[in-house]
Structure 1
């Protein structure tokens, strides 16, 4: 940070920000009672235990215990410092940030990782400059223009060009005194048989790959000549900052549209994503491999519960779509297929048919998986041949039997019956027979269900059990935070909590209200800025308790008495232990002394 962010600016950002708007960029939230719930972004779970209280502007996960205000969320989510999180939240809300408060990115805490992040950012700027400002980039720029990529689109995706030069990038970083060790770790270079480094990407259009926050962490380089003998795409290897199994191309740009449209479109290639974006379909992503990993699916599950597959329309593309559907079995999602006509890929279709037709296809031409699969099976059989008819029927029933909706079953049974020219009744008999076979085999095939139940059990909300003392402390601290007269009484009484966690928050509360000159209600979200991360978690947990709107005096007196007497009760336990030891050794004198202490202590407690 160049300058410390003043409290006035923090207050401005806080007052203009709704935590729900910020968290909704990362988590799919649904209203449940007074609060909103979703899948926790900090750990994997199937049952939503992550809660956001809009009235208090805080969040809390009932499973992992994390909690806090909007700044704490960004700090946890993006690994940012508090000043950086304030700036991030301000930028999300289009609140102008004075230049002197701009913070450096520290998402990657390891020094090598931060260096690699800076290297990829600098490399992207260099490749962009070569593409748009030099003669070396003219052929690549012409190639992109021929694919109808405008200057704005090239800039939006940060596309550049790596010239056919073995040492251009290598020398660029050597001039900046990047060590040999870091150069090798970067993934930007390869080495020859002599162990000498050279530029990995040469004579390729360079497409930056970003993480969910927009940091460039890798590249995909595309050849200009589609008839070249080398691979069409060359991607960065995995590094300290790039894990392909956790990365989705264009997720940073697409998050907002994914949430708003309620679905994500999975494309096969990066250029398809870019072309779709150009055509106004901006909720598209692409994976780094042939199928989505569990990590990628979990990221998407926080944003949507609908995945539409849009691969090439040629034979390999149809095969890839079928493979994808057989692998996409995560029941957090429903799935659809956008089939590209005339065996074209999405980019070809957009260029030949126009943006509007592709938008119509993406929004209104989504097939159900079973519809696509039945058409896929039909491609492989001659339905005028009896043997092929039976094979087609067998494969089709294996898919239809998985359907839960009676209406869907009836619809697709009718479709197969029409294709084969047989009655629905005969196909339904075959379907019933298949169901009976599956019921017999069910106990042997339930491993996945066992795993799912185990996961749900692990991630389900666990309510810790507190003894009478700690319950009293938790409730009393809650009321002290929310009602000024109670905290004033506790302070004047010289009261103290037994557990240090609660005492620490109470001390912070008194300091906060004094420093901020607060006589009435405490703003929980603002108060959290004065606490440690651990205390923020605890405060969020306390504030998420299901409490009545008002307290009664007797209740407060009971809590205070329980807490004050806890020390006496502890002494009572100690004396009982000493009495047992005195009886074992036959020390009658000590037993009498301890018995008298016990009587006096019980008298005090009874009063």
Structure 2
């Protein structure tokens, strides 16, 4: 059982951690002014509204409102408790964590998601043990070794083996007193016609699928002994922790290299990713389906703006590459194609030609999408035949006309002119004709661009619709947080904020200062004693563009505005009553209300 993590250890982790280093593992950050900005990892957006203040060690999203320190970030993105997030951040910084602070892995009484994550972790350990330590796993281990996967690589990807036993895993969890309802929701089991559960994966090499944080959320099982009517691969069904539209195989391992290399390589199969990893190409991922989804593209857009496609070199693989090239038109990315020679898949190529040859192909053999398309079209035509030449030219020009760069257009027009022995002038004339036809057909308003503009407008909006009173509260609270003399003066005068959320944060501020005997408030440490709403509000206030110093007149104005809020509310109420009195023609009431309004306004002006 883990003991409570003491404040001294939390302080040590805080002092040795830079929030930018941690968040950069999940978000591609770029400097803009004093802070760093990127796409928010908690919601989809086109315009970066997620900000990190390195000097204050906090983050805040101006769009969704989330904010906090490094521990809050890990709690949010990895669904961890505060103690778990402290340990996670410590481990990221190679800070030794005493055993008594470690959170137990055997607690199945937490949230549903955490329970399933723990179950998948335990299942992976069992499958790994069977593969590496038992006779049952020997055939599977020989199969993997035969594909040049050594024990180190097997352990890196946590590969395992599910034996041909229908209730091995079922009994494993029943012995741990896991309720049937949880077993049914886990996706690890199927049920027969009588409603009895049995192990979903049997006689399969097990490949764990992890989320971006490295938690195992699903399995892909490859059949070891092929039988008629049995699928070669079987994936976990979707659960509360696994959505195949979001998951990307190996993303957790590949994130750092993706950021460093400024590109990601998209493979078709998991074995291709693993073989590439062994060869030293560690920025590869694979999707759970045939094409990338919007959610997967958004995840990658936080890490890079270059996607290189490396599918199989056989005919189906080339067709899949063609579909990917023509369907991947998200303008957040540039695209490249790595064509594997001799109709081999990446895994076969690495095993036959060696890892260095594959690394050379990856580093020096990236084609542009247009170059791939021209080669793809040539596969389908006999260019010694005039009819096929015209067909090839028409298909090629229909793609070249989409290019925005005049240099690219000129380069590919020259390439086609040389290959077909025709003049560039005649091809350019064809292009001009094609452009005019396309301009006539083009709709006045491009729906995709219109939707993008709306999305950018929404995500770029900062929540700034505050009235005069609330603006005064926000500014005054900011100065009270950063200057002890202001909060001491406010406390001494028995000052109260109008809105409950600002008063609550102010109370927490006073309590924190007294308990820590601190005049200067460490914003990141202060976050640790706040609830979620207060953390978000504190981050929002601290990210406001404020001057370095305040003036006494400014503070007095804020205090007066807030203290007179009741009078301002009364003015608003009287004005509303005046309108109603005018509508019914009650002159006597109008006169009485006007006198009241004059009196209240006199008080306000004083």
TM-score tier by shorter-chain length is over 0.9
Match of residue 493 from structure 2: 493
Question: Deviations 1:92-138 (Å, cap 9, x if unpaired)?
Answer: 11111111212257999975444433332222122111111111211
Larger deviation: 207-216 or 108-117? 108-117
SS at match of 2:308: strand
* Aligned pairs (5 A) from 1:468-479: 468-479=468-479
SS at match of 2:190: strand
Change in CA separation of 1:434 and 1:176 when aligned onto 2, cut-off 3 Å: same
CA RMSD of aligned residues (A): 2.6
SS at match of 1:383: coil
| Residue 382 (str. 1) matches residue 382 (str. 2) | yes
SS at match of 2:245: helix
| TM-score normalized with structure 2 length | 0.94
Change in CA separation of 1:471 and 1:111 when aligned onto 2, cut-off 3 Å: closer
Question: Deviations 1:398-441 (Å, cap 9, x if unpaired)?
Answer: 11111111111111111111121111111111111111111111
How big is the shift at 1:198? 3.5
Question: Deviations 1:300-345 (Å, cap 9, x if unpaired)?
Answer: 1111111111111111111111111112111111111111111111
Match of residue 140 from structure 1: 140
Larger deviation: 178-187 or 526-535? 178-187
Match of residue 334 from structure 1: 334
Match of residue 435 from structure 2: 435
SS at match of 2:219: strand
Answer whether contact 1:582 1:591 (CA < 8 A) is retained.
no
| TM-score normalized with structure 1 length | 0.93
Change in CA separation of 1:105 and 1:135 when aligned onto 2, cut-off 3 Å: closer
Answer whether contact 1:84 1:105 (CA < 8 A) is retained.
no
* Aligned pairs (5 A) from 1:291-310: 291-310=291-310
Match of residue 244 from structure 1: 244
| Residue 158 (str. 1) matches residue 161 (str. 2) | no
Answer whether contact 1:131 1:137 (CA < 8 A) is retained.
yes
SS at match of 1:243: coil
Larger deviation: 528-537 or 219-228? 219-228
SS at match of 1:246: coil
Answer whether contact 1:81 1:106 (CA < 8 A) is retained.
no
For residues 116 and 393 of structure 2, the distance between their equivalents in structure 1, rounded to whole angstroms, comes to: 55
SS at match of 2:443: helix
Answer whether contact 1:205 1:223 (CA < 8 A) is retained.
yes
Match of residue 85 from structure 1: 85
Answer whether contact 2:108 2:118 (CA < 8 A) is retained.
no
SS at match of 2:221: strand
Change in CA separation of 1:249 and 1:473 when aligned onto 2, cut-off 3 Å: same
SS at match of 1:522: coil
Larger deviation: 558-567 or 319-328? 558-567
How big is the shift at 1:159? 0.7
For residues 384 and 343 of structure 2, the distance between their equivalents in structure 1, rounded to whole angstroms, comes to: 25
* Aligned pairs (5 A) from 1:275-354: 275-354=275-354
For residues 478 and 351 of structure 1, the distance between their equivalents in structure 2, rounded to whole angstroms, comes to: 61
For residues 315 and 585 of structure 1, the distance between their equivalents in structure 2, rounded to whole angstroms, comes to: 85
Match of residue 65 from structure 2: 65
Match of residue 198 from structure 2: 198
Change in CA separation of 1:307 and 1:9 when aligned onto 2, cut-off 3 Å: same
Answer whether contact 2:109 2:115 (CA < 8 A) is retained.
no
Structure 1: gaps (5+ residues) = none
Larger deviation: 305-314 or 120-129? 120-129
Answer whether contact 2:244 2:288 (CA < 8 A) is retained.
yes
Question: Deviations 1:17-74 (Å, cap 9, x if unpaired)?
Answer: 1111111111111111111111111111111111111111111111111111111111
For residues 375 and 189 of structure 2, the distance between their equivalents in structure 1, rounded to whole angstroms, comes to: 45
SS at match of 1:205: strand
SS at match of 1:253: helix
SS at match of 1:45: coil
Larger deviation: 388-397 or 164-173? 164-173
For residues 335 and 329 of structure 1, the distance between their equivalents in structure 2, rounded to whole angstroms, comes to: 9
For residues 105 and 203 of structure 1, the distance between their equivalents in structure 2, rounded to whole angstroms, comes to: 27
How big is the shift at 1:533? 1.0
Larger deviation: 76-85 or 568-577? 568-577
Match of residue 7 from structure 2: 7
For residues 549 and 107 of structure 1, the distance between their equivalents in structure 2, rounded to whole angstroms, comes to: 48
Match of residue 450 from structure 2: 450
Match of residue 558 from structure 2: 559
How big is the shift at 1:512? 1.2
* Aligned pairs (5 A) from 1:169-208: 169-193=169-193, 195-208=195-208
Match of residue 535 from structure 1: 534
Question: Deviations 1:327-369 (Å, cap 9, x if unpaired)?
Answer: 2111111111111111111111111222222112112221111
Match of residue 370 from structure 2: 370
For residues 214 and 190 of structure 1, the distance between their equivalents in structure 2, rounded to whole angstroms, comes to: 25
For residues 360 and 219 of structure 2, the distance between their equivalents in structure 1, rounded to whole angstroms, comes to: 31
Change in CA separation of 1:565 and 1:102 when aligned onto 2, cut-off 3 Å: same
Match of residue 545 from structure 1: 544
SS at match of 1:399: helix
Match of residue 524 from structure 1: 523
How big is the shift at 1:170? 3.2
* Aligned pairs (5 A) from 1:555-594: 555-574=554-573
Answer whether contact 1:245 1:296 (CA < 8 A) is retained.
yes
| Residue 482 (str. 1) matches residue 508 (str. 2) | no
How big is the shift at 1:296? 0.9
Change in CA separation of 1:306 and 1:588 when aligned onto 2, cut-off 3 Å: closer
Q: How many residues align?
A: 605
